[in-house]
Structure 1
Amino acid sequence: MVIFLKFYLIGIKGSGMASLANILLDDGYEVVGSDVNNYIFTEERLKKRKVKIFSLDNKEYLDNCFIIVGHNFMDEYLIKDFQKKHLPFLEYNKFLSFYLKKDNLVCCSGSHGKTTLVGLLACGSDKSSFLRGDGYGKKQINEDFFFLEACEYQEHFLVYKPYFSFICNIDYDHVDYYKSESDYILAFNKFASYSSIGLIDYDSFYKINNPYFFTYGIDDRADFYAEDFSFDENGIKGKLYFQTEFITDFKFNNMYGLPLIKDVVGVLAFYFLHHYDLEKVKNNLQNYQMAQKRFNINKINKQIYIDDYAHHPSQMKVNLENVKVLFPFYKYVAIYKPDRVSRLEYFYKDIKDILSKYDLAFICDFNDKTNKDLLNKFNSEKIIYLENINNIKNYLNKDYKYVFSLMSSKDLNLIKNIIIKFFNKN
């Protein structure tokens, strides 16, 4: 029997793979990997931990090393190469299913908000481990729970067997794989069937068939719900009820928006069901920090920059609702970089509709095979297809105060820096 003390991660900068690398390091293993050469924000934490990252053409895998492959890098040529060389390997999600314990595994899934929910759940307990989709993972000895972000793309989440499941929403997505909304919902039903207990957002509960799930949300028909809730520039607040019984109140000045109110209800419901001291949980949540690219607010001089993972029209709508509450006297500018042609085509009308509600919106190229005809269809009175990102300066006025919502699963630092330099220039 070979005991592996080294792991080689192909695609180590991936949002889940980078998190996994941190978990393996916490468990005392040696970790190296390979990925594309261009900068991705997830590599910062890896560099601090002195993880070596090689180029993808590196084929010199370490002796006695177990190979973990990110989803985007798993192809038949790689598999044949590994098999020919008798190299042990697993795909990312299959490795996690093998590696993690089942008796304390809590899987968090849903169309949007998984990363934030995992972060909140992990923050609620001093003895929790987690893997979330922004390159951050943490493993503790003698953990009470392991909170895992479980993505529904290509049914990847169906390999996990958690004892407890969260579904924070079901909003049709990944249209390149799921050819109909019913196929998408069916995958979530399969996922829900693997747990004997769980929590699901009330607005989506009718889409699954599992009588052992509690519901949560801001609707008083849910099992756990908030009343007297609100949010403004000072944060969120409300009162938590369980089936008409008052449980506790909550107030957090480090969170914004209705989705975060729902998340807090879900997190407090989880710990209530596990008989935790909710006052201690709430105290822990006061230290919560938003995950990377999840409505990260940065003020530079008069201008506000918000890095947001929003790449689906539902998320973009939340972004606009939030900025209007938090920054009422600014002009709202959306900068959107799509990630998939299939998503852009399917949600074209919805995306165009929400972008037109900003004071000004820009849509950017997103890969070498960008469908320019499709992007040109977005051009309108308030929406501009920006072929050259340097041209954004021509549409800005130094006398105005703007909120720039930089929305994408892709990197938008180049255009952000162009805007910052424009306003810093005398």
Structure 2
Amino acid sequence: MNLKDIHNVYFIGIGGIGMSALARYFRFLNKNVAGYDKTQTPLTNELIELGISIHFEDDISLITESFKTTYNSLIVYTPAVPEEHSELQYFKENNYEVKKRSEVLGIITEDTFCFAVAGTHGKTTTSSILAHLLKETNTPLTAFLGGISEDFNSNFVLEGTEFSVVEADEYDRSFLQLSPNVACVTSMDADHLDIYGTDKALQESFKDFINKIKPSGKLLVRNGLPLDGTTYGIEDDSDYVINNIKIEQGTYIFDLKTPEETISNVRFNKPGKHNLLNGLAAFAMAVQVVSQPYRLAEALSTFKGVKRRFSYQIKEKDFVFIDDYAHHPTEINAVYQAVTEMHPDKKVVAIFQPHLFSRTKDFIDGFATSLAKFDTVLLLDIYPAREEPIKGVNSSWLLEQIDNPNKKLIKKSELINEINKCRPEVLITMGAGDIGLEVNNIKNELAYAN
């Protein structure tokens, strides 16, 4: 398929973070872009402001008339859309060019020098840091990000077309559509077992992804993963390593050792050892093509962050409110490590919205252990996303497993009252569902109260 021959691009599930970045890309190319999503969100509103027509009912009659021609139209869908979706069925039955998001991403990036960030955790932050480093060193890049970068205020960056930055998503084996020049694997914890069945199958898929790297390409691997590549880590024997870490006023200061040299007094402002690793991975990827290691290290200090990745909403002396996308036990543990390191001896209240019935079922023990560490846990109902309920799998079951006397199952409508009752010194909201839509309301209410 030649994208130059495509005039109309229609997205089924256009409001997804990855889909919306692609929609922005095609809109920038002056393609006729439209789409469907089941929910109106700030992301869909932003797309509408760009002139993209979006409707929110699965109804063939609502498809824009210009998309009734097959010869110059591309239909893009996300695997989260059910196969029986009537619009998806219509396009397939009428012989349109229908492709998954990952296939289109692979086509767009195949003629670029492609950086691909893979891993069950850390993809979005690492790729956002990488895009920031490349931009700061005037590298012509296009980036498709899985979150809203606070540096670019977008999930799509267009500063040139020679290089591309993408997240290599393991869900539905999407990353096997890519052929990167430089790839990174940040983590391989068990996840998406509804797709893979077993942890071993997931790990085999990562190995398949590595085999997609171009023959002259480079693989960066977090030290400790069962993969062969150039390693990165913290205070270990990695090829790229961070040593001599200090914290001054919430900022990490450290030495960054590369295979060639050591750069002293590097600064990085995002809390948590996991974010230090993300920053190091992005540096190690960028330095493969940018021969300015000191400039890259300097650019680490100006990275602002990604929305919903340990994002400070309120940061006062007596009260802190942080929002995070964490939806896996490993990610919750990383948030706990970061918050206790940056705000020691503070009373921490965690509000968590579990994401997916299958993930809750598969990792019930891990969720219970990670959540029990917080001083108080407020649990919301499971956000189903693409799934139907699983009998016996609910937030009440998870609550029973959490070994913490200060725990409670609450409704979203009760959030403000329950937070006020707890009187936290540090409040954290976590989850990959619609809890993110509650953040501004919480922030406004608590800022006024404090």
TM-score, normalization: structure 2?
Answer: 0.84
**Which AA in structure 2 matches 1:176?**
D
Alignment of 1:48-197 (within 5 A): 48-59=49-60, 60-61=63-64, 62-63=66-67, 64-73=72-81, 75-76=83-84, 78-126=87-135, 127-134=140-147, 136-143=155-162, 145-195=163-213, 196-197=217-218
After superposition, the Cα gap between the structure-2 partners of 1:270 and 1:37, relative to the gap in structure 1 and judged at 3 Å, is closer
**Residue in structure 1 matched with residue 221 of structure 2 by the alignment:** 200
1:287-318 superposed Cα distances (whole Å, 9 cap, x missing partner): 32211211110117653221101011111111
User: Is the Cα–Cα contact under 8 Å of residues 308 and 324 in structure 2 kept in the other structure?
Assistant: yes
**Residue in structure 1 matched with residue 376 of structure 2 by the alignment:** 360
**Residue in structure 2 matched with residue 277 of structure 1 by the alignment:** 292
After superposition, the Cα gap between the structure-2 partners of 1:385 and 1:120, relative to the gap in structure 1 and judged at 3 Å, is same
User: Number of residues paired by the alignment?
Assistant: 418
> Could you tell which deviates more after superposition, 26-35 or 345-354?
26-35
After superposition, the Cα gap between the structure-2 partners of 1:343 and 1:230, relative to the gap in structure 1 and judged at 3 Å, is farther
Distance 2:442 2:161 in 1: 47
Distance 1:234 1:107 in 2: 30
Distance 1:385 1:378 in 2: 12
After superposition, the Cα gap between the structure-2 partners of 1:382 and 1:373, relative to the gap in structure 1 and judged at 3 Å, is closer
> Could you tell which deviates more after superposition, 75-84 or 132-141?
75-84
User: Is the Cα–Cα contact under 8 Å of residues 327 and 431 in structure 2 kept in the other structure?
Assistant: yes
1:260-309 superposed Cα distances (whole Å, 9 cap, x missing partner): 22222222222333252123223433332211211110117653221101
Alignment of 1:225-264 (within 5 A): 225-231=241-247, 233-243=249-259, 245-264=260-279
Deviation at 1:83, TM superposition (A): 3.3
In the alignment, structure 1 residue 320 sits paired with structure 2 residue 339: no
**Residue in structure 2 matched with residue 341 of structure 1 by the alignment:** 357
Structure 2 unaligned runs (5+)?
A: 149-154
In the alignment, structure 1 residue 267 sits paired with structure 2 residue 275: no
Deviation at 1:69, TM superposition (A): 0.9
Deviation at 1:232, TM superposition (A): 5.3
**Which AA in structure 2 matches 1:130?**
A
Structure 1 unaligned runs (5+)?
A: none
**Which AA in structure 2 matches 1:56?**
E
User: Is the Cα–Cα contact under 8 Å of residues 390 and 418 in structure 1 kept in the other structure?
Assistant: no
How high is the sequence identity, in percent, across the aligned residues? 22
Other structure's SS at 2:58 match: coil
TM-score, normalization: structure 1?
Answer: 0.89
Distance 1:332 1:122 in 2: 33
After superposition, the Cα gap between the structure-2 partners of 1:142 and 1:179, relative to the gap in structure 1 and judged at 3 Å, is closer
User: Is the Cα–Cα contact under 8 Å of residues 379 and 385 in structure 1 kept in the other structure?
Assistant: no
> Could you tell which deviates more after superposition, 269-278 or 335-344?
269-278
After superposition, the Cα gap between the structure-2 partners of 1:105 and 1:240, relative to the gap in structure 1 and judged at 3 Å, is same
Other structure's SS at 2:11 match: strand
**Residue in structure 2 matched with residue 222 of structure 1 by the alignment:** 238
Deviation at 1:3, TM superposition (A): 2.2
In the alignment, structure 1 residue 417 sits paired with structure 2 residue 417: no
